[in-house]
Structure 1
Amino acid sequence: MLRFLDAGESHGPGLCAVLEGLPANFSISREKIDEELARRQKGYGRGERMKLEKDQVEIISGLSEGKTTGAPVTILIRNRDHDNWKNKDPKDTFVSVPRPGHADLTGEFKYGTGNLRNSIERSSARETAIRTAVGAICRQILEELGIRIRSKVQTLYGINDSFCDLFDDGLYEKIEKSPMRVLRNEEAFMSLVDSAKRQGDSLGGWVYASVEGVMRGLGSFMHYDRRLDASLAGAVMSIQGVKEVSIGNPFLNFTGYTYHDGILYEDGALIRASNHAGGIEGGISNGENIDVYCYMKPIPSILLKLPSVDLKEKKNTDSRYERSDVTAVVPLTIVLENVLAFELLKEVLETFSRDNKEELTAAIRIREKRLGVLNE
């Protein structure tokens, strides 16, 4: 079983993870992991911390001559901002006023440490850096298996961007170059971010990711917790700030007749007339692109004052502000890609369960050969 455990705090020495269950003999490039970390740090509306951090991964174990060995892979990302925090007086980092919308107060309900700083440090979206690194390892293996993942920003506070085929290389090149990761409405999106920044406010929106090349038959309807859409949705909902997830386009209205994807036999192959189901039916992948949409709420840490309470003094007060982004929908697209990469590789290994590249690819070929009979 593929699994990982990550650790670290927002302003601690660093973030680390142990990724266990990778098959042996797959080539892994540290530079490609760093490229994903750099993509995550880009985007219009990011805060000041991105000017401080330059995330790079250190691989401590699990690779030999650039290839997986079957052993756990240990990775580390150091926090540069830690140098600015390590000598601070504890009185200067103590927090007793929770920010509405963050985990400050609920963390105190749960753990009761008496200092909200402890909740802030671990619940921070800084943790998405190490999850991105884990996913970046997994997506390199997926790419060797013919599976690609791409994404874009779809909406921002009511402004919509065009829908498009993310695997049209010409269109996707424009998205990759856009500071808002949109296809056509870049200036309108950036103007909206500028306006929110002037007002001391924040913005949320929808992002979209599509996965091409997923083999048929991943997941299961035999038990509720083995459904592919359930595992993907749960993983995406675990990303900080995400409040809604949809498999397939959530913005269109259908009847049963117009929604369901007709099955056709053409040129010796089974094909689908559409992909409104987002590539999953009955909890199992059907061979179409897997399309995942998710909504990120506006970032709760804003300059505008919200009502809160000083827990130490036991009196009403204004909420506090902590350095933050105006919007994080752009980095969310990158985090989403890499979270999906981990979950999909986990499903591949659950289905085919092999310990090295050669046996894994052979098992996949056997499945595809069997399914190919349906096309004859």
Structure 2
Amino acid sequence: MTKPAVSTSSFPWRWLVAGGILAVAAYVYFIALRPVAVVVPVVRGRAVNSVPGSVEVKAESVLPVKSEAGGRIVTSSLNPGRVVTKDEVLLQLDTGDVDIEIERIANDLEAARRRAQVGSTLRAERDNKLDSLNELERRVKAGAFSVAEFEREKRLYQQLVQRVDLEEVNLKLGVENLENALRAKQREKAKMTIVAPFDGVIAELNIAGKPGELIGRDFTLATLISKSRVVEAKISEENYAGLIVGQAAGVSFLSYGPQQYRATLTKKLPTANAETQRYTIHLNVEIPEDKLVPGLTGEVVIVIGQRDNQMIIPRRALRSKQVMLVESGQVVVRSVEVGYTALNEVEILKGVSAGDLVIVEELDTFRPGQRVRTRTAN
């Protein structure tokens, strides 16, 4: 049996098809080997110039409650966590001994006032001496009495007047001293009643506070934390100058997740921390007061300027004053002019156009002219 003849004309086509397949495979393989650049398109939007800072919530006042007087406890309402109001009695010491002293001084004062009202016991003698002196003066004028003797009697009268004045001054001084002593004892008694200096919460307690317990002078009884809160933010030195009281801000707290609360800058403190060179500002945050727990921390972004319809790129795409773009699959480095800078975004005044693809991740791994594939960032 004879074999069919093989057509030699089909071989070139087979080689061409095989070559085409290999070329496509090589091209696909070559493209697949290109690194992937994560990009974000340049968009138009609102450019915001903002200042970042760290935030901490503090109690407006943290005050140790001390006893200025020593004594024995009669009553106490000191309990950790207890809410107290201004001038509420927290602890009462026994005032029995002081009351006795106050009563004694008050009696002495009443007697001293009566003595001062009566005046010096030498008043009558002074008046009689004055009458005698007037009579002697008439006799001197009549030539019936010695002038020298009259001058001696006149000096004796002056001495008597001085004794009367001095005695009455001492009587007045005795009244004033007793009045001061009475006020001092009354003040000492008042110090034996310890009251809350402001509305707050008792945070710590250093004594049991049981009736009959003895405490010493200047003993720290407890720590009182005020109900009012202060939200402090720390701002770097280079950003402090642009801040103005009344500027709007956004505050987020670590304990409350990504939620942001509106705030207003209310106070700028003029001195910086000597170690960190960061300045302190105060914020009024629109948040329920019970959420502002002392010790809470977070972040703040203060808006100091904004412009609409500007070129915006992610801040992480900016390296110095340059960005990396992908044009026709190739990396291009372009110098840009930077405008407003926010926490996560940057305004570009010159150098890019809307729709340009800027690289936002691993910028150090790319070089100008490098062929890349692109993937849009999430």
| Both proteins in one fold, TM over 0.5 | no
How high is the TM-score relative to the length of structure 2?
0.19
TM norm structure 1: 0.19
- Structure number with the higher strand fraction is 2
Of structures 1 and 2, the one with the larger relative CO (CA 8 A, separation 6+) is 2
Specify the structure having the higher radius of gyration (Cα).
2
